Amino acid sequence: MKLQGYLRADGRKGVRNVLVVAYLVECAHHVAREIASPFRERGVHLIGFPGCYPNAYSLGMMEKLCTHPNVGAALLVSLGCEGFDKRRLARTIESSGRPVFTIGIQDKGGTRRAMAAGREWVEATLADIARQQPVPMGIDELTVGTICGGSDATSGLTANPAMGVAFDLLVADGAKTIFEETGELIGMEHLMAARAANPALGEELKRSVAKAATYYATLGYASFAPGNADGGLTTIEEKSLGAYAKSGQSTIDGIVKPGIAPPRKGLYLLDVVPDGEVRFGFPNINDNAEIAELIACGSQLILFSTGRGSVVGSAIAPVIKVCANPETYKRMEEDMDVDAGRILDGRATLPEVGREIYELVQRVGGGEPTKSEALGHQEFILTYKSFEPLGPACLPV
Amino acid sequence: MASFDQRAARAVMRLSPGDNVAVALRPLKSGETVMLDGVEIAIRRHIAVGHKFAARTIEKGEIILKYNCPIGTAISRIAPGEYVHTHNVESNYLPTYVLPK
């Protein structure tokens, strides 16, 4: 399958044509889920924000997600009295050229009427967006995010460096690529700074890791646990190296924050740790919080490395799971797209698996479903955070 | 780029050609000999999966390289095949942050 995409009004292309149903407060979650559930197999995904009190980060995230290139239309489900700025969100979606409709549960007269109205709109709109045909797409029109979860001793030996190889191939072809997560890069800041496009960006990279280290230390997160040493990791540098290997060898072209798309081709670090004093608890309470942020930065596809065996996918963007551990792959083959553990027993080399991932990215971009998509995984989570704007040195021209 | 020795493909792996340490892919027994890039290395003590041993002599003060990245400094001379871990390596990481008072 060749890479192809749905052309949007802003010129970006989506590798899927999803209709999102978005609840704007937890009180609207059930109605939104009931509206979406009959259409689960037809490209309707559920997303939403559970908080009632408004928050600039979550509004920005919802704007970016509802106007993501993989999204063709959006239904907003509001209770009616929540603090979320639903009018602004609807205007943003409308001005992006996408069909959008807001249902107020209180206005409609309750659960049953709101559900009926929602399903009617979804049915009609699905037929509408199905008329759009995909067009050929280049690798230079792709944004790919990478994440690791459920890591073990094999993650840093096989899957992460193999994804790094794939990243290098994508960058060479002009794609935009995003890696994370600063809290797992403690000890790598000097290496990252040396790879920065210029010294000022290098200083920003160091600063972003320092912010993460401070944030985690305040929350009582130990960076290097005794279990790490039991697993054969000797120093904090070595531990972080495993996660860092996902980034490949390319020049680091900039830092982005959730919702900010990389402006040009190349490799970018996503800074997911909130700015300012520590509030709202853990920066990302699970892998899907981070996946949602990678998607909000424009990623049409996610590469996910796992050693112990994560099963998640995501709403909006396909997730390609790269399994690091050959034993895990044997046990959970149905959930894994790539068997990177072959590197350990000599059945494949790192460059071979890297190229396999690179080629799979193009097939999935052409419409081939990933394992998690075929199994119906559409996880999504969004919580409170706060960020300051990017510093001027974060995106060198 | 990883390199493999065909006769011992399942035993050990060096993540980058310039690395001075290699990783055990199965439990290695004290006294056994493994092949790493065509060189015989006698393993000097039990090494668990995922743990490291010296791929050549590492002098005291030398940087330990894994995946061609520095992961610490040798605090004693390490002979080929010797276990490399917290007893003979220390971190070079100087935290770049301070906790707010």
Q: Spell out which residues of chain B touch residue A244, defining contact as CB-CB under 8 Å.
A: 69
Average pLDDT over residues A325-339: 95
Per-residue pLDDT, B3: 45
| Structural domains in chain B, sorted by start | 6-90 (2.30.130.110)
Token pair of A109 as six digits: 């007269």
Closest CA to B92 of B61, B54, B52: B61
| DSSP annotation of A219 | T
A232, pLDDT greater than 90: no
Q: Which of A210, A218, A245 sits opposite B67 (nearest CB)?
A: A245
Average pLDDT over residues A228-234: 81
Q: How far is CA A145 from the centre of its chain?
A: 6
Token pair of B9 as six digits: 């493909």
**Given pLDDT bands bounded at 50, 70 and 90, which one contains residue A222?**
low
The helix/strand/coil state of A294 is helix
A237, pLDDT greater than 90: no
Those of residues 117-176 in A touching chain B at CB distance below 8 A are: 153-154, 156-157, 161
pLDDT tens for A274-312 read: 999 888 888 888 999 999 999 999 999 999 999 889 999
A174, pLDDT greater than 50: yes
Give the residue on B whose Cα is nearest the Cα of A213.
Answer: B97
- The answer to whether A78 and A102 are in contact (CB under 8 A) is yes
Average pLDDT over residues A149-154: 82
B8, pLDDT greater than 60: no
B100, pLDDT greater than 60: no
Q: Sheet containing A176-179: give its strands across.
A: A252-256, A266-270, A176-179, A143-148, A301-306, A319-323, A338-339
Higher pLDDT, A254 or B17: A254
Give the residue on A whose Cα is nearest the Cα of B22.
Answer: A157
Provide ipTM, 2 decimals. Answer: 0.85
Per-residue pLDDT, A223: 65
- The answer to whether A342 and A157 are in contact (CB under 8 A) is no
B4, pLDDT greater than 70: no
Closest CA to B73 of B48, B87, B92: B92
Lowest mean pLDDT among A41-50, A210-219, B74-83: A210-219
Cα dist from A348 to A340, A343, B29, B52, whole Å: 8, 5, 25, 21
Which residues touch A347 (CB under 8 Å, ≥6 apart)? none
**Given pLDDT bands bounded at 50, 70 and 90, which one contains residue A233?**
confident
Per-residue pLDDT, B7: 37
pLDDT tens for A22-36 read: 999 999 999 999 999
Mean per-residue pLDDT over chain B, rounded: 85
Q: Spell out which residues of chain A touch residue B84, defining contact as CB-CB under 8 Å.
A: 234
Cα dist from A164 to A43, A158, A177, whole Å: 30, 10, 10
Whether a cis peptide bond, with omega within 30° of 0, leads into A141 is no
**Given pLDDT bands bounded at 50, 70 and 90, which one contains residue A216?**
confident
- The answer to whether the CB atoms of A346 and B49 lie below 8 A apart is no
| Structural domains in chain A, sorted by start | 18-131 (3.40.50.2300), 139-374 (no CATH)
Per-residue pLDDT, B97: 54
Give the residue on B whose Cα is nearest the Cα of A186.
Answer: B95
Lowest mean pLDDT among A169-178, A291-300, A315-324, A340-349: A340-349
pLDDT tens for B24-38 read: 988 899 999 999 988
